Amino acid sequence: MYNGELIEKTKGFMDPEEGERLFQLALDASSRGACLEIGSYCGKSALYMGPACRARNGILYSIDHHRGNEEQQPGEFYHDPDLVDPRTGKMDTLFFFRTALSDAGLEDTVVPLVGGSAHIARFWTTPLSLVFIDGGHTFAAAYTDYVSWFSHVQPGGFLVVHDIFEKPEDGGQAPWYVYETAKKSGLFEELPRTKTLGVLRRYHPGELPRDLPS
């Protein structure tokens, strides 16, 4: 089980109900293969998924350049000055992420991959049982994460997208666009959502719908 007290004091934006759903999905998926998240930040989502992977003797890869997304830069709404490296003046969340993994005893389960999502995906060959997209929220960033990684989700695996809002007045539209694009691909079955957490399961070849989108 995950450490709720540690999660609560870890910086991040994961709703507890959404985190619980991530835990359950990772518990299911990690028995079939590796899991991967895009957007580590300070480790809150990894503190949900990591213990699930550990319970199944699995692994969670966690991708982030650790310089903060567009909304976390100085002057932006989600900027946290505590996360600025005083030596460089740049955001740097890697230390906080590694500290969270150490405190949770997850350093043998969660593997940090430091760099851009698309760059890491270029030569990736390992099938994945779960891909969680929660990185940059511009259209370019979110769509790049999707096109870079959706094909690596193995049949029966999950594609999970965070912060999906159907109405612009409720939140940014990039994750919603990615979610809808994945649905329209005909490769994924939509499962029940948990708040802003959209969950899709990749069809097995024999399950593919007859009428695929053109």
- Chain segment 1-57, per-residue pLDDT in tens: 999 999 999 999 999 999 999 999 999 999 999 999 999 999 999 999 999 999 999
- Which amino acid would we find at residue 181? T
Q: How far is CA 170 from CA 12, 30, 167, in A?
A: 19, 32, 5
Mean pLDDT (whole number) for 59-82: 84
Instruction: Give the pLDDT score at 118.
Output: 97
> pLDDT at position 214, please?
45
Give pLDDT, residue 76.
75
Task: Read off the pLDDT of residues 136-174 as tens digits, 9 standing for 90 and up.
Answer: 889 999 999 999 999 999 999 999 999 999 988 888 899
Residue at token pair 């709404």: 77
pLDDT at 213 over 70: no
Q: What percent of the chain has pLDDT over 90?
A: 79
Distance CA 63, CA 54 (A): 18
Residue 90's pLDDT band (cuts 50, 70, 90):
confident
Token reading at 117: 């999502």
Summarize the confidence of residues 109-135 as an average pLDDT: 97
The answer on pLDDT for 212 being more than 70 is no
Q: Which residue in the list 65, 66, 137, 162 is annotated as catalytic?
A: 137
Q: Is 65 a catalytic residue?
A: no
Closest CA to 174 of 205, 150, 138, 199: 138
- pLDDT for 106 beyond 60: yes
The percent of residues above 70 in pLDDT, for the chain, comes to 98
Give the pLDDT confidence score for residue 195 in this predicted structure.
97
What's the pLDDT at 169? Answer: 86
Q: Which domains does the chain have, with CATH numbers?
A: 4-207 (3.40.50.150)
Can you give the pLDDT at residue 74?
77
pLDDT of residue 43: 97
Q: What is the DSSP string of 56-87?
A: TT--EEEEE-SS--GGGSTTSTT--GGGEETT
Please count the other Cβ atoms lying within 10 Å of the Cβ belonging to residue 27: 16
**Residue 69: closest CA among 133, 11, 138, 7:** 138
